[in-house]
Chains A and B, each alone.
Chain A
Amino acid sequence: GAVVSQHPSWVICKSGTSVKIECRSLDFQATTMFWYRQFPKQSLMLMATSNEGSKATYEQGVEKDKFLINHASLTLSTLTVTSAHPEDSSFYICSAMGTSGSWAYEQYFGPGTRLTVT
Chain B
Amino acid sequence: ILNVEQSPQSLHVQEGDSTNFTCSFPSSNFYALHWYRWETAKSPEALFVMTLNGDEKKKGRISATLNTKEGYSYLYIKGSQPEDSATYLCAERDNQGGKLIFGQGTELSVKP
Q: Which range holds the interface residue count of chain B? A: 20 to 34
**Complex Cα–Cα for A46 and B104 (A):** 13
Contact for B102 among A44, A108, A110, A111, CB less than 8 A: A44
CB distance from B5 to the nearest CB of A (A): 9
CB distance from A10 to the nearest CB of B (A): 10
Cross-chain contact B49 with A4 (CB below 8 angstroms): no
Q: Which of B40-48, B68-76, B77-85 contacts A (4 or more CB under 8 A)?
A: B40-48
Is the C-beta of A109 less than 8 angstroms from some C-beta in chain B? yes
**Complex Cα–Cα for A106 and B97 (A):** 14
- With a cutoff of 8 Å between Cβ atoms, the chain A residues found around residue B46 in the complex are 106-108
Cross-chain contact A44 with B99 (CB below 8 angstroms): no
Is the C-beta of B4 less than 8 angstroms from some C-beta in chain A? yes
Q: Which range holds the interface residue count of chain A? A: 10 to 19
Cross-chain contact B49 with A44 (CB below 8 angstroms): no
| A106-B46, A108-B46, A109-B44 known; A43+B104 contact, CB < 8 A | yes
CB distance from B21 to the nearest CB of A (A): 15
Q: List 11 A-B contacts (CB under 8 A).
A: A43-B4, A44-B89, A44-B91, A44-B102, A46-B99, A49-B97, A107-B34, A107-B46, A107-B100, A111-B41, A111-B43
In the A-B complex, the 3 residue pairs with the smallest Cβ-Cβ separation, listed nearest first, are A44-B102, A109-B44, A43-B102
Cross-chain contact B104 with A41 (CB below 8 angstroms): yes
Cross-chain contact B43 with A34 (CB below 8 angstroms): no
Cross-chain contact A43 with B44 (CB below 8 angstroms): no
- With a cutoff of 8 Å between Cβ atoms, the chain A residues found around residue B103 in the complex are 43
